[in-house]
Amino acid sequence: MKKIRQYTLMILAAAFFLPACTDNFVEKNTDPNAITAVTPDLLLPGIIRTAVNQMVDQSWSIGNIVIQHTAKIQFVSEDRYTWGDRDGLWENMYNNLRNVQLLIEISDRNKANNYKGISLIMRAWMYSLLTDAYGDIPYSEATKGVTGILQPKYETQEAVYNGILADLKTANEILGPGEVVVGDLIYNGDVSKWKKLANSLRLRYLMRISNVKDVKADMQAIIDNPTANPVFSDANKNEDNGVLRYLTSAPNQFPLYTARQGSFDEFRLSKNLGDKLTALADPRIAIFAQPTDASVAANAPKYVGVPNGLNEVAALDYNGGPNNVSRAGSLFYKGSITERGLNVAKGYIMGYPELQFILAEAVKKGLVKSPKTAKIHYEEGVKAAFGYANVTMPANYLTTPGSAYSETDALTLIGTQKWIALFFTGLEAWFDWRRTGIPTITPGVDNVNSGKVPVRFAYPRSEQTLNPTSLAEAVSRQGADNYNTKVWWDK
């Protein structure tokens, strides 16, 4: 009986103290500083930084090489077109697009049109990178895993482009004053500049598909109504550029700043770009490259490029070895956190110089009627491109043969200057070259792609396991899954 009474007392005591232990349990065990709901200002910076940094990585690893801005002297597989499984762009963009979709859904719930407009612009740009690199891709069913769609269908590139252009048009229509945007790493919340980016991108993508679709009316509608459809303006020039301006400290430093010296030194000035800049006496060569070590030691600095696509031995021995060929520009590496580097090493979405070259081409081809001639747009593009590179343009540059505008050679001049201006802009220069064929890009003598410059990425191998049926359908429609199958707008 004594033991029973003891147990009874223990139970009663526990019952008495239990409420005291459980009262305010949730409150006491909840971190008041913890984030319990994702808000637009938290999502937007990561979306921008992740996507733009991937663009920088694509510039360095493949974009500059395939378009012959740079060449490799070690580990030359990429330069010989042994590209393997180029899945980085695919994985990065689709992972990030899930966050974009979440931001759109949050914006819809909150009736936050400015966040939604910016999200639509980022979505359009990111899908453009994917479709221009791969061709047909998952689109309307992509990022819908939470709804049970785990094997999204691939859609034609034409359908994807229709969606891209629709997103940009909608963004232009809903962006406006009154709603504050926080977390904007591009324009610091200035939605008027986001509208300009949306419409400038529309002109880029309309030009991209102009060889396979009549885009005159759509392009002219943008040009004719600058109030409703503002683009990068002459007054602001490079101030309107859609670029991520990096900082001196992490996490917003230029991504290559932390690369190994040896990894940076593998990349050298391409002979193609170097010869063109030298022939034009173009001072931008000092930004895009460094004088050879041997010439600096001899107190007679000069710039020497190396041909693309050489084998490992030939590339390393070219012109007497690495001391006699130019490294890539230091402002894209250690100098990227200096005052001048911050004005050069930028994360590119689209800029004013590119827009002017698009307009110059459009006017020359009769795609649009502009208040300005093709010559004026061309010269404005060249001037702005020097400004973008933070270089003073020589006074006689636009009257020098090879850069002076000529009606006879207009498209070649426009394409060549656009190619120069698109240095270190991700894959954009490659996409544009595939459309125009300007300038001449000749595969290196040791290329392993049957003497052809690649015109797309092969689909990631993971798709063969994760989404085989949709992948097979896309390949049967588009053509062989290799580097030489042209995408819809390139056929």
Burial class of residue 5 in the structure, from the number of CB atoms within 10 Å of its CB (0-12 exposed, 13-18 middle, 19+ buried) = exposed
Q: Is residue 28 part of a domain?
A: no
Q: H helices within 23-156, ranges in order? A: 25-28, 40-58, 64-66, 88-110, 113-134
CATH, residue 486: 1.25.40.390
Q: Is residue 124 part of a domain?
A: yes
The CA distance from 275 to 278, in Å, is 5
- Could you tell me if 363 and 375 are in contact, meaning their C-beta atoms sit under 8 angstroms apart? no
Residue 338: strand, helix, or coil: coil
The CA distance from 17 to 31, in Å, is 25
CB neighbours (10 Å) of residue 401? 8
The CA distance from 377 to 361, in Å, is 9
Q: Is residue 299 part of a domain?
A: no
Give pLDDT, residue 2. 41
Q: Is residue 329 part of a domain?
A: no
The CA distance from 252 to 247, in Å, is 5
Number of domains in the chain: 1
Q: What share of the chain is helix, strand, coil (3-state, %, to 5)?
A: 55, 5, 40
* pLDDT tens sequence for the chain (491 residues): 444 444 444 444 444 444 444 455 445 445 554 444 679 999 999 999 999 999 999 999 999 999 999 999 999 999 999 998 999 999 999 999 999 999 999 999 999 999 999 999 999 999 999 999 999 999 999 998 888 889 999 999 999 999 999 999 999 999 999 899 999 999 999 999 999 999 999 999 999 999 999 999 999 999 999 999 999 998 888 999 999 999 998 878 999 999 999 999 999 999 999 999 999 999 999 999 999 999 999 999 999 999 999 999 999 999 999 999 999 999 999 999 999 999 999 999 999 999 999 999 999 999 999 999 999 999 999 999 999 999 999 999 999 999 999 999 999 999 999 999 999 999 999 999 999 999 999 999 999 999 999 999 999 999 999 999 999 999 999 999 999 999 999 99
Q: Is residue 261 part of a domain?
A: no
Angle, helices 113-134 vs 40-58, to 10°: value is: 20
Instruction: Look up residue 290 and give its two tokens.
Output: 């460094």
Q: What is the pTM of this model?
A: 0.92
Q: Is residue 272 part of a domain?
A: no
Residue 59: strand, helix, or coil: helix
Q: Supply the range of the domain harboring residue 374.
A: 41-239+340-490
Q: Which position has the token pair 């005291």? A: 20
CB neighbours (10 Å) of residue 191? 23
Residue 344: strand, helix, or coil: coil
Q: Is residue 9 part of a domain?
A: no
Q: Tell me the backbone φ, ψ of residue 289, rounded to 5 degrees.
A: -150, 170
Q: Is residue 53 part of a domain?
A: yes
